[in-house]
Amino acid sequence: MTLHALPDFTHERVTTAVGRRSGLTMAVALHSSALGPGLGGCRMWRYAHWSDGLGDVLRLSAAMTLKNALADIGYGGGKAVIALGPDDELDAERRTAALRDLGDLVEQFDGAYITAEDVGTTEYDMLVVRERTEHVVGLPPEEGGEGEPADGTAHGVYVSIERTLAELDGSAALAGRRIVISGLGQVGGRLARRLAAAGASLAVTDIVASRRALADELGADWIEVDAALTTPADVFVPAGLGGVLTDATIDALPVRAVVGPANNPLAERSGAARLAARGIVYAPDFLVNAGGVIHLALAGRGAPVDEIERRLDGIGDTLDEVYRIARTDGITPLDAAEALAMDRVRGGRVSV
Catalytic residues: 79
Under the binding rule (CB under 6 A), the answer on residue 160 touching ligand NAD is no
Q: How far apart are CA 262 and CA 211, in angstroms?
A: 18
For the chain, the distance separating the N- and C-terminal CA atoms, rounded to the nearest angstrom, is 43
Under the binding rule (CB under 6 A), the answer on residue 209 touching ligand NAD is no
Stretch of 69-77, 80-88, 134-142, 180-188 lying at the interface with ligand NAD (CB under 6 A)? 180-188
Total interface residues for ligand NAD by CB under 6 A: 26
Under the binding rule (CB under 6 A), the answer on residue 66 touching ligand NAD is no
Q: What is the length of the chain? A: 352
Stretch of 4-12, 29-37, 237-245, 316-324 lying at the interface with ligand NAD (CB under 6 A)? 237-245
Cβ partners under 8 Å of residue 174, min gap 6: 161, 162, 165, 195, 198, 199, 200
Question: Which residue in 16, 186, 201, 246 binds ligand NAD (CB under 6 A)?
Answer: 186
Query: Strand 178-182 to strand 233-238: parallel, antiparallel, or no bridges (unpaired)?
Result: parallel
Helix (H) or strand (E) holding 125: helix 123-130
Q: How far apart are CA 278 and CA 250, in angstroms?
A: 8
Question: Which residue in 225, 227, 273, 331 binds ligand NAD (CB under 6 A)?
Answer: 225
Under the binding rule (CB under 6 A), the answer on residue 284 touching ligand NAD is no
The amino acid at residue 89 is E
Looking at beta carbons only, is 153 or 160 nearer to ligand NAD?
A: 153
> What region does 182 belong to: left with phi over 0, alpha with psi -120 to 50, or beta?
beta
Radius of gyration of the chain (CA): 20
Question: Which residue in 48, 207, 209, 248 binds ligand NAD (CB under 6 A)?
Answer: 207
Residue 291: burial class (beta carbons within 10 Å; 0-12, 13-18, 19+): buried
Under the binding rule (CB under 6 A), the answer on residue 33 touching ligand NAD is no
At residue 289, the 3 state secondary structure works out as coil
Minimum distance from residue 316 beta carbon to ligand NAD (Å) = 16
Under the binding rule (CB under 6 A), the answer on residue 150 touching ligand NAD is yes
Under the binding rule (CB under 6 A), the answer on residue 184 touching ligand NAD is yes
Q: Which of residues 105-134 bind ligand NAD (CB under 6 A)?
A: 119
Minimum distance from residue 311 beta carbon to ligand NAD (Å) = 15
- In the complex, the residues that contact ligand NAD under the rule CB under 6 A are 119, 149-150, 153, 182-188, 205-208, 211, 225, 239-242, 261-263, 289, 292
